[in-house]
């Protein structure tokens, strides 16, 4: 018996759209407050506000579903000034909400560990890009029995056409396993959107690859050398966030490399990949780690069984893995 995820799709899309509205409002301010977390990575008013809105929307629609999200309210409770700013932003969308309620909504996202059915949320993926005014994404996925089934990915700064400087920006992507991937408007009313497909290139040579903007997040040199071995001559598309998955899914790039830097042993987080992976797969692409293993979401919140990520258009995945020369 197949399961219909119509309601999950609708709630997820609506939630990421509302969160995108909040993020755009914060990004339009000159100087969004940035807090440094204990792991020295940044978090902003918009990360907290986005998580509060989405967790509340999920709580209302699916009260029994656990949520494994990136942020928690501990840093916020210690910073009343920023908590007030977050509350004011959330009030633009949910009037009358109090700071305490905002914190409790955020902490609804702290389920912490794996279960048979859970949501995973990155309220702002690519926070560094967001602060810079570049690309970022709001990434939400429903994982059932360890497999992402529904994905909603909002990319508020992504141009409709990467090669056209005047193209309008702001896209959302939605995918349900077995039912394709779609690009939908970010702020509009139309929920059905346009079906997207990965590039139909049969060989990598004339293609493009995308990798991290921040060199600490992926080995740029290794991606470049692998690209050369594949005969790729185009410059890499360096971009923050899961917008990288989105551009592979709609055929703007053939490959996404996220390659571990030598001497580091960073473990990827599930919320950085669950939504993007499903969008690429449902558009016809393939996503594995650098060893060719499928991403294993059963060790949430971490991808402990995986090393790095490779996403391709699905036509020459093994060739790309071979060119990586991992062993």
d(CA 291, CA 309): 9
Among 77, 217, 229, 299, binds ligand PPS (CB under 6 A): 217
Query: Would the annotation count 70 as a binding residue?
Result: yes
Cβ(85)–Cβ(65) under 8 Å? no
At 104, give phi and psi (nearest 5°).
-70, -35
The sign of the torsion formed by the CA atoms of 71, 77, 82, 84 equals positive
- Select the binding partner of residue 241 from Mg ion, ligand PPS, none (C-beta < 5 to 8 A, by kind): ligand PPS
Task: Assess whether 210 carries a catalytic annotation.
Answer: no
The residue annotated as part of the active site, out of 44, 87, 127, 210, is 127
CB nearer to ligand PPS: give 176 or 248.
248
Site residue total, Mg ion (CB under 5 A): 7
DSSP structure class, residue 269:
B
Query: Would the annotation count 164 as a binding residue?
Result: no
Helix, strand, or coil here: 309? strand
Residues 267-326 that bind Mg ion (CB under 5 A): 272
Return the biggest CA–CA distance within the chain. Answer: 58
Classify residue 179 as exposed, middle or buried by CB count within 10 Å of its CB (0-12, 13-18, 19+).
middle
- Please choose, from the candidates 17, 95, 266, the residue with its C-alpha nearest in 3D space to the C-alpha of residue 289: 266
The residue annotated as part of the active site, out of 21, 44, 47, 286, is 47
CB nearer to ligand PPS: give 134 or 322.
134
Task: Assess whether 127 carries a catalytic annotation.
Answer: yes
Q: How many CB atoms lie within 10 A of CB 99?
A: 17
Binding-site residue ranges for Mg(2+): 70, 122, 124-125, 272
Interacting residues with Mg ion (CB under 5 A): 41, 70, 122, 124-125, 127, 272
Which residues form the catalytic set?
A: 47, 127
Site residues for ligand PPS per CB under 6 A? 41, 70, 122, 124-129, 212-214, 216-217, 240-241, 266, 269, 272
């Amino acid at each position: 018996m197949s399961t219909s995820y119509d309601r999950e799709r609708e709630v997820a899309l609506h939630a990421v759209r509302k969160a995108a509205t909040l993020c755009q409002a914060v990004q339009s301010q000159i100087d969004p407050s940035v807090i440094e977390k204990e792991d020295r990575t940044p978090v902003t008013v918009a990360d907290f506000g986005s998580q509060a809105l989405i967790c509340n929307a999920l709580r209302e629609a699916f009260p029994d579903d656990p949520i494994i999200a990136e942020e928690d309210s501990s840093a916020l409770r210690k910073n009343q000034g920023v908590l007030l700013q977050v509350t004011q932003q959330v009030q633009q969308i949910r009037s009358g909400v109090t700071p305490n309620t905002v914190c409790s909504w955020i902490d609804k996202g702290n389920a912490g560990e794996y279960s048979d059915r859970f949501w995973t949320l990155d309220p702002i993926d690519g926070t560094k890009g967001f602060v810079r005014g570049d690309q970022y994404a709001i990434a939400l996925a429903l994982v059932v029995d360890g497999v992402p089934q529904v994905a909603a990915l909002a990319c508020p700064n992504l141009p409709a056409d990467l090669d056209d400087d005047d193209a309008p920006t702001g896209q959302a992507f939605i995918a349900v396993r077995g039912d394709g991937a779609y690009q939908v408007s970010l702020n509009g009313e139309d929920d059905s959107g346009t079906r997207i497909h990965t590039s139909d290139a049969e060989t990598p040579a004339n293609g493009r690859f995308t990798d991290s903007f921040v060199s600490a997040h992926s080995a740029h040199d290794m991606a470049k050398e692998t690209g050369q071995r594949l005969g790729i001559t185009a410059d890499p598309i360096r971009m923050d966030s899961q917008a990288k998955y989105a551009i592979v899914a709609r055929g703007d790039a053939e490959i996404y490399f996220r390659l571990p830097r030598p001497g580091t042993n960073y473990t990827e987080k599930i919320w950085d990949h669950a939504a993007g992976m499903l969008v690429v797969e449902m558009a016809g692409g393939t996503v594995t780690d650098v060893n060719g293993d499928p991403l294993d979401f059963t060790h949430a919140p971490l991808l402990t069984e995986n090393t790095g990520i490779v996403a391709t258009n699905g036509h020459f995945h093994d060739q790309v893995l071979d060119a990586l020369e991992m062993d």
